[in-house]
């Protein structure tokens, strides 16, 4: 009887240890089955948790009170076809969850395909770098430049559907829109705005600087040192 009890205790400890190893932790990884795809950059796994892919931002399709953005359906359909029902590896960076409780991960297919990078390189997503999860920021930036140069996906849309390809006059008209969207409230303790321009240059703006109010923040930083560490530079003027 004692042997059986000892065996059950050992089995219980082993199962607990195995379960702990498959939990999200900084710089760790876990395997999961994709239950359904929410949109281009977000999906739900078999456990019921939602996963937001790090470093990428596909056009909106399901945001409440927000219209479907150009190339949003294409990005969503691509992710659904690629990921639904697949067993994937989720690799975490410094912060494994966002403020909404979603898992933040780099996603790999069984054949080694790096899904985050593929979305950017094939033109289904723009880059969105949010410290401290910046391990592949340079790779994503290079992938976006490649997609732009070859007019892939959303970069190949006509000017009327893709604001990023509009001419000088349209860009000037968009400044008002950018100024309006730039009024969003910064995260607590992170007042510095990081922006990536059309040339792929990563520039940060501190409160009070000439272009601060009109700049749309793609990334927020607490200090200039943090911005520089992420590869951003101050404006030239």
Query: Which residues form the catalytic set?
Result: 52, 60, 102
Phi/psi region, residue 71 (left: phi>0; alpha: psi -120 to 50; beta: rest), is left
- 102 touches 48 (CB < 8 A): no
Task: For residue 165, give both structure tokens.
Answer: 């390809």
Residue spans of alpha helices (H) in the chain: 2-21, 72-83, 115-121, 137-149, 168-181, 224-229
Q: Which of 70, 52, 48, 53 is nearest to 61 (CA)?
A: 70
Phi, psi of 179 (to 5 degrees): -60, -40
Q: How far is CA 48 from the centre of its chain?
A: 20
Q: How far is CA 81 from the centre of its chain?
A: 19
């Amino acid at each position: 009887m004692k042997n059986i009890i000892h065996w059950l205790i050992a089995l219980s400890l082993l199962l607990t240890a195995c379960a702990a190893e498959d939990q999200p932790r900084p710089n760790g990884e876990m395997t999961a089955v994709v239950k359904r795809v929410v949109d281009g950059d977000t999906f739900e796994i078999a456990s019921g948790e939602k996963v937001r892919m790090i470093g990428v931002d596909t056009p909106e399709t399901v945001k409440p009170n927000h219209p479907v953005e150009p190339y949003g359906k294409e990005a969503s359909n691509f992710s659904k076809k690629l990921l639904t029902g697949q067993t994937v590896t989720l690799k975490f960076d410094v912060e494994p969850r966002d403020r909404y409780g979603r898992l933040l991960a780099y996603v790999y297919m069984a054949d080694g395909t790096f899904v985050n990078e593929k979305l950017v390189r094939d033109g289904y997503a723009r880059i969105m770098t949010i410290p401290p999860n910046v391990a592949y920021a340079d790779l994503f930036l290079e992938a976006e430049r490649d997609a732009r140069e070859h007019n892939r996906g959303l970069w190949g849309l006509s000017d009327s559907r893709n604001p990023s390809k509009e001419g000088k006059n349209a860009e000037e008209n968009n400044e008002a829109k950018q100024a309006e969207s730039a009024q969003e409230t910064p995260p607590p303790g992170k007042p510095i705005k990081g922006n990536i321009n059309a040339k792929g240059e990563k520039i940060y703006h501190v409160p009070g600087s000439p272009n601060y109010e009109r700049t749309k923040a793609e990334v927020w930083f607490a200090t200039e040192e943090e911005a520089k560490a992420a590869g951003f530079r101050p404006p030239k003027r």
